[in-house]
Copies of this chain bind each other. A is one copy, B any other.
Amino acid sequence: MAPDGPAAPGVGGGATGPLARRLEEYRFPEGYRRMFLSAAYAFAEKGFHGTTTRDIAARAGMSPAAMYAFFRSKEDALYQIAIAALDLTVEMLSAEGARSRRPADRLRDVVKILSIWYANNSPVASVVLHQLGALTPEHQAEVLSRKRAIDQVVRGVITDGVASGDFVICDVTAIETAIMSLCVDVARWYRAGGRRTPEAIGELNADLALRLVQPAPDPVR
């Protein structure tokens, strides 16, 4: 699964995540994949402005100028990373949303997917969450529309549950925000090798999300 031979220093665990697998599936050239992941992990660790093009190239085990064979600029690298990560997220959620089942189950699944994603990809996720101010306005707009698509999925599940009477809440937007907070904040506090696996975190957050949409005493239903 991981590239054979002397693994590029610094790419490390990044080579095995969902994004890395996606890059392989889509037959991106090996050099591009290395550079892409180097950039993603460097941005995650030091931020966009704190990362130099030399850092990125060095992580990929290449010369300082090598990055420019794959990206037109450092900003372009950030842009491509953000788009790829968000598209993959949307895709995972859409596959889920297509199945029509009970709203509670769908909410469980959506929260699990997002939580696991933010845990397993916390470096890349934190880039998408906090580094996008460095993009050009045009690129920011493109990225924002994809973020909105993710919000829409969550909102859709909640409104469906309200419509069907499965969820009883007073303010859809507030609950949507709170549930997203539970999910995205995983990227801030999660550490690999911690007390809980990403899957366990997903289950836990799903439980908590359900508590938020099913207001307390409801003995007679």
Contact = CB atoms under 8 A, between A and B. Distances in A.
A196 B173 CA distance: 11
Nearest to A140: B2
Contact of A133 (B47, B177, B178, B196): B47
B2 A132 contact: yes
Contacts of A178: 182, 205, 208
A9 interface: no
Contact of A204 (B45, B174, B204, B216): B174
A204 B212 CA distance: 12
B129 A188 contact: yes
Contacts of A185: 177, 180-181, 184-185
Interface of A: 1-4, 45-50, 104, 129-134, 140, 144, 147-148, 151, 171, 173-174, 177-178, 180-182, 184-186, 188-189, 195-196, 204-205, 208, 210-212, 214-221
Q: Give the top 8 A-B pairs by smallest Cβ distance, nearest first.
A: A181-B185, A49-B49, A216-B216, A49-B50, A4-B133, A1-B147, A3-B133, A216-B217
